[in-house]
Amino acid sequence: MSTNPAGNTGGGPSPRYVFAPAETVAVPVVGSDALFPVHRIYCVGRNYAAHAVEMGHDPDKELPFFFQKNPDNLSIGDGEFPYPPRSSDVHHEIELVVALSGGGKDIPLESAMDHVFGYAVALDMTRRDLQAEAKKLGRPWEVAKAFEHSAPCAPLVPASQIGHPTEGAVWLDVNGERRQTGDLNQLIWKVPEMISYLSSMFELRAGDLIFSGTPSGVAAVERGDRMHAHIDGIGALKVTVA
Residue 3 located in a structural domain: no
- Does residue 21 lie within any of the structural domains? no
Examine residue 122 and state whether it is found in any structural domain, yes or no: yes
Nearest to 124 by CA among 41, 231, 235: 41
Any domain includes 182: yes
Q: Counting Cβ atoms within 10 Å, is residue 47 exposed (0-12), middle (13-18) or buried (19+)?
A: buried
Question: What local confidence, expressed as pLDDT, does residue 62 receive?
Answer: 72
Looking from the CA of 4 toward its CB, the CA atoms found within 13 Å total: 11
Which domain range does residue 84 map to? 26-241
Instruction: Check if the beta carbon of residue 115 is closer than 8 Å to that of residue 142.
Output: no
Q: Is the dihedral of CA 91, 96, 101, 107 positive or negative?
A: negative
Tens digits of pLDDT across the chain (242 residues): 344 444 445 567 889 999 999 999 999 999 999 999 999 999 998 898 765 545 556 666 577 889 999 999 999 999 999 999 999 999 999 999 999 999 999 999 999 999 999 999 999 999 999 999 999 999 999 999 999 999 999 999 999 999 999 999 999 999 999 999 999 999 999 999 999 999 999 999 999 999 999 999 999 999 999 999 999 999 999 999 99
Residue type, 148: E
Flag whether 12 is in a domain: no
CATH number of the CATH domain containing 109: 3.90.850.10
Residue 64: what pLDDT? 80
Angstrom distances, CA of residue 89 to CA of 68, 92, 141, 150: 20, 10, 15, 14
* pLDDT score at 5: 44
Number of separate domains in the chain: 1
Q: What is the pLDDT of residue 6?
A: 43
Residue 1 lies in a domain: no
Residue 7, in any domain of the structure: no
6 domain residue, yes or no: no
Task: Answer for the pair 107, 204: CB distance below 8 angstroms, yes or no.
Answer: yes
